[in-house]
Amino acid sequence: MTRARTAILLGTALLLLPRAEAQQVKSPDAVARATYACPEVPDREARVARALELRDRRYDKNAVACAADILFAESVARAKDVELAKEALLASLAYLDVVTLLKAHDLAGTYVDEWKVRLEHGKAQAKALSERLNALAANDPDVIAMEGTTLLVVHQFDNLITVAHSVRKARGLLERAVELDPMAFDGWALTLLGRIHFELPAILGGDSAKSVEILERAFAQTPGNVQLLRYLAESYDQELQETKAIAMLQRIRDLPDPASVDLQLTVDELRLAQGLATRLAHEALAAGLQARRRALLETHPMLDPRVSVQAAGHGGDNPITGEAQY
């Protein structure tokens, strides 16, 4: 796998409480909004390279959608190529995550039908790729971890029974992957396993103390993973280890400037880290995290600031100052 490209925003895949939604008829406008034109590149290798470049643009839903479509088609054409199928699945998971984040910030549900169309398309690709990878390389730790991740992402909006079953199966797959290789899925398998224990209620097998233990192991392997740092900060906070939580948030603030692939991820994580610092009543740290985020947004104006659409007077811009509230 391409190491620099596995930083999927999997936090959205781990909101494990049931979020089942009623089926709605999708409007023609929604289908139109979910339609996009992808670049045509005649040369096969150049086409794959272009798709990998587009996959990095987590701030552009259609760019990531094109990456997923191009890599899926190329993977179908080269059905025995395990590494290409991995890259294609990463693109499909990245697309699903981008859409899920946009859906979460659409508080008024203005574009709910568009998100449904996009999620259905992405889920179909992800499931097909995961099944093919499992058939091609069932004992590959990366493939096992990606199968578990796909279960979490694809079934996140299903009913409680399906979600609970998917999480249990995903946890078993991630545990198996980590046993085979602690750095499976470029270290994400261990990180996700720790996050599952944080998110799950105790009655379903969650354990916040165990989440700390697992995430600390992950931190020893990948100390520069900004999302892992935030996960660990939240787990420390849950266990009333405030000093350690603040130390993790300080690490986030002080990380070197990210590579282009991690720009959107870093901006998103700085936003969440700022919220946690505020909750911990550490005003100076919250201000530092906010300043770092603003600097990145100013330097890279193409990034999505994740400003929520206003709904019933909440979210969006401050109606008095005009400033973004998120």
**Dihedral sign, Cα of residue 127, residue 1, residue 7, residue 98:** negative
Q: Give the model's confidence band at 109: pLDDT under 50 very low, under 70 low, under 90 confident, else very high.
A: confident
- The pLDDT assigned to 163 comes to 87
For residues 174 and 323, membership in a common domain is answered with no
For residues 134 and 61, membership in a common domain is answered with yes
Q: Encode pLDDT of 123-137 as tens digits.
A: 999 999 999 999 999
For residues 187 and 302, membership in a common domain is answered with no
For residues 139 and 259, membership in a common domain is answered with no
For residues 160 and 284, membership in a common domain is answered with no
For residues 207 and 316, membership in a common domain is answered with no
- The pLDDT assigned to 131 comes to 97
For residues 131 and 237, membership in a common domain is answered with no
What are the Cα distances from residue 127, in Å, to 14, 70, 89, 305? Answer: 18, 16, 9, 30
Residue where a domain terminates, one of 181, 203, 222: 222
- Number of domains the chain contains: 2
| Domain enclosing residue 120, as ranges | 3-222
CA-based R_g, the chain, Å: 19
For residues 17 and 106, membership in a common domain is answered with yes
Q: Encode pLDDT of 239-294 as tens digits.
A: 999 999 999 999 999 999 998 889 999 999 999 999 999 999 999 999 999 999 99
Within 10 angstroms of residue 74's Cβ, the number of other Cβ atoms is: 19
AA identity, residue 64: V
What are the Cα distances from residue 140, in Å, to 129, 173, 221? Answer: 15, 11, 20
For residues 115 and 258, membership in a common domain is answered with no
Residue where a domain terminates, one of 198, 222, 246: 222
For residues 116 and 193, membership in a common domain is answered with yes
Q: Encode pLDDT of 198-224 as tens digits.
A: 998 887 788 889 999 999 999 999 999
What are the Cα distances from residue 150, in Å, to 86, 169, 247, 280? Answer: 12, 11, 32, 33
For residues 172 and 57, membership in a common domain is answered with yes
For residues 195 and 180, membership in a common domain is answered with yes
CATH code, domain carrying 150:
1.25.40
- The pLDDT assigned to 324 comes to 52
Q: Give the model's confidence band at 2: pLDDT under 50 very low, under 70 low, under 90 confident, else very high.
A: very low
Report, as an integer, the average pLDDT of 142-160: 93
